[in-house]
A and B are shown apart, each in its own frame.
Chain A
Amino acid sequence: MTAKVIWALAQKELRDALHNRWFLLYTLAFIGLALALSYMSLAGAGIAGFAGFGRTAASLINLVLLIIPLMALTIGAQSLAHEQEQGTLAYLLAQPVTRVEVFAGKYLGLALSLLASLGLGFGIAGVVLALANGAGSPAAYVSLVGRTFLLSLTMLSVGFLVSAFTKRAGVAIGIGLFLWLAFVFLGDLGLMGTAITLRLPVEQLLWLSLLNPLQVFKMAAILDINATLDLLGPAGIYAMQEYGAQLRGLFLMLTVAWIVAPALAAYVRFHIRGDL
């Protein structure tokens, strides 16, 4: 396993991403929506006479929660399945490269293309915000971008896992879309219903919701911007009082676990599958 080969394969992925219509569509949609949201939130920036990043950040978090998992899941789900369906994976593996190198190269390439897409979306929106004095502290904005990137990696890993278990790209994307629905809507709605009917105590509600990497991202982003989780009501206040300064570490740990575990499982499956 050499870095050179992995980088070469990653570059190939980056190039493919630029030719991938899904990827271009998502990127353009993300840039467009981020710009539109920033522009709309600027309506009030002048009146407050104040560095405020409240609602802009909130709508950006909302946008990220919707579109980034969709983007990363579908791209991840296509990754191995698509190449296998096309037969290019067999061709690639016939080269003197190991399966680790192929897997790592693909992951790195797709991760970088996601980072590029995020950089463009947040960057262009950020220029608009900064010019109109609508942005708050630069640290909050940069950390929001960083956390979004980590979120996209968790979803990319889950996408790879789906891809490793399916042979056809269509099926993989279908499963990816269902998972997106589950992560974004069904999980939270189910948890809300459960909380109301079973009268879950706040600490259980908090921990159940932390199983969802999207919720982890949301709480971490709010913590970065507001420095507290007051916004999230009793559960947020409980989290602040119970874990306080350890929350950031906890969020990071959960996120890394969601990045590493599915990616490892996907690699193991990819390795032992053997077939092409």
Chain B
Amino acid sequence: MMELGARCVVKRQMSKHASLVAKMLLLLIVAALTLPLHVAASGQVTSQAVAATTQCGHVSLQAMIDDATPGDTVVVPAGTWQAPLHIDKPLTLEGQAWPVIQGDGSGDVIRISAPDVTVRGLVVRGSGISLDREDAAIRSSGANTVIENNRIEDALFGVYLEQAPDSIVRGNTIHGMELPISRRGDGLKIFYSPRTLIENNVMRDTRDALLWYSPYSIVRGNDFATGRYGLHMMQSDHHLIESNIFRNNSVGVYVMYGTGFELRRNLLADNRGPSGYGVGLKEASDVLLEGNRIVNNRAGVYSDSSPLQPETAVTYHNNLFAYNEIGLEMLPNTQRNRFQDNIFLDNGEQVNVYGGGDLTHNAWAVDGRGNYWSDYAGFDANADAIGDLPYTSKSLFDNLAGSHPELRLFHLSPASDALDLAAKAFPIFAPQPRMSDPAPLMQPPALPDTPGLTPPPTAINLAAAAAMVMLALSILAAGTRRRRRQRHTLSAQAA
């Protein structure tokens, strides 16, 4: 254990049945045993609590935790403290000016086995790297754990809640280890811990934020990037996922096997790779996606057998699908999905049926109101803001690519456009429509705000474009200006 000359502070909450005198006596004994006498004099007595300031060099953090009585607040001053730590009673461990809790590179760094423990304001680093033991920076198996405003670095698993219901993980920054994705652990693993609140955390370079068998948990205001699955929910029901940013992961949010999910106002951007999805739904029932911006992913939403439960639906309302290679990729077994007021804007392919087939068993308009499609080519003669012709997605090339995915290589080639043109000109080739929106919107509906929006660099773009025009003009000028001198050169050569 590291020795420190720093001042350690233990604030003791008065327990309701302990007398003030007993508290004072205990404190004096502890002080007398470990420290010079003059320190005891600085102990302050208030009506509510007894606070003692101790000069506690030569005392490890673990010893302070062991000394504390349940309900205490152990204030950890700045410095580097050796871990592992084990908290086995209700305590608050609070860092001042970011003390570093340094693990020894094996096992967990902080382990919590009691309920009502709060860990706040610490830098926790140096867990082991065993995926079998699932070495974590902070692991808790106590109810009502609060893990708040910590910085977790160089950890295999970041925060691991294992049968710790009603816990809060808030405002933490979690950085994983520099490992290939197959050897990383989960930045957040919430396992059998129902009603957990995960709020305003930032997570980078880990595997997943995983919610497993932890129903009624809420995920709000987080920023999860550069991992495998931004948020991964398995066998876990009734979740609210709100105002988060999921960016540059392999999959933004993956919902597997569960019922009751609300995804509202999230930004899901740049999630790419072989299975790059903004949102993946696999056998998920009763799902609502509302007001999400799903931008520049390989596939905006991938849906397989969702909803699974009969009598439930997957509802897409007021989402933006923009600039994805594929806006919506669905397996042909997808039914009872409902779409209203969504914007499908300039996706490479707006809707794709994976493996061929059609999606006609879904409601592409609800109550006579469909979605906005940027490639809609109809008209609105009766001026009710709803197109008079249905929007249909049918393209011979897209159909071909559905059954022969390798042909996507020719995406954006004029040859693939020629195929579609041929299909229009000679209807014998015309493919079956894969879906049809009977009431497409003429104007895109307004969207709610999501976090993480950045405007493009207009000034630089403008300068670059202007420079191109100037270059072109100066080349043309160079060709015409020096006619006289050129003749001169040629005649000089002739001479």
Contact = CB atoms under 8 A, between A and B. Distances in A.
Interface string B309-334: 00000000000101111000000000
A157 B347 CA distance: 35
A148 B465 CA distance: 15
Contacts of B416: 188
A43 interface: yes
Interface string A232-251: 11111100000000000000
A231 B406 contact: no
Interface string A130-141: 110111111001
A121 to B, nearest CB: 9
Contact of B406 (A8, A138, A202): A202
Nearest to B466: A127
Contact of B493 (A5, A51, A118, A234): A5
A58 B417 CA distance: 12
A99 B346 CA distance: 51
Interface of B: 272-274, 276, 293, 295-296, 298, 320, 322-325, 343, 345-348, 374, 400-401, 404-419, 444, 447, 449, 453-458, 460-473, 475-476, 478-480, 482-483, 486, 489-490, 493-494
Given A141-B464, A228-B272, A49 B447 contact: yes
Contacts of B374: 43-44, 55
Of B325, B400, B449, B468, most buried by chain A (CB within 10 Å of CB) is: B468
A58 B412 contact: yes
Interface string A10-22: 1111110110000
A129 B468 CA distance: 14
A230 B410 contact: no
Interface stretch (A82-90, A108-116, A252-260): A108-116
Interface residues of A, number: 88
Given A96-B494, A205-B409, A235-B409, A14 B476 contact: yes
A95 B494 contact: yes
B408 A109 contact: no
Given A120-B468, A130-B458, 16 more contacts: A8-B486, A13-B479, A18-B480, A47-B320, A47-B345, A50-B293, A52-B295, A116-B471, A117-B472, A138-B460, A142-B464, A145-B468, A189-B418, A192-B407, A234-B405, A235-B406
Nearest to A12: B486
9 contacts: A14-B478, A51-B455, A56-B346, A65-B412, A65-B414, A112-B475, A119-B472, A205-B406, A230-B276
A75 interface: no
A143 B490 CA distance: 37
Top 7 closest pairs, chain A to chain B, by CB: A14-B479, A233-B408, A126-B465, A119-B472, A55-B346, A54-B323, A123-B468
B493 A97 contact: yes
Given A123-B466, A133-B455, A54 B493 contact: no
Interface in A185-220: 185, 187-189, 191-192, 195-196, 200, 202, 205-206, 209, 214-215, 218
Contacts of B455: 49, 51, 133
Contact of A109 (B345, B469, B479): B479
A177 interface: no
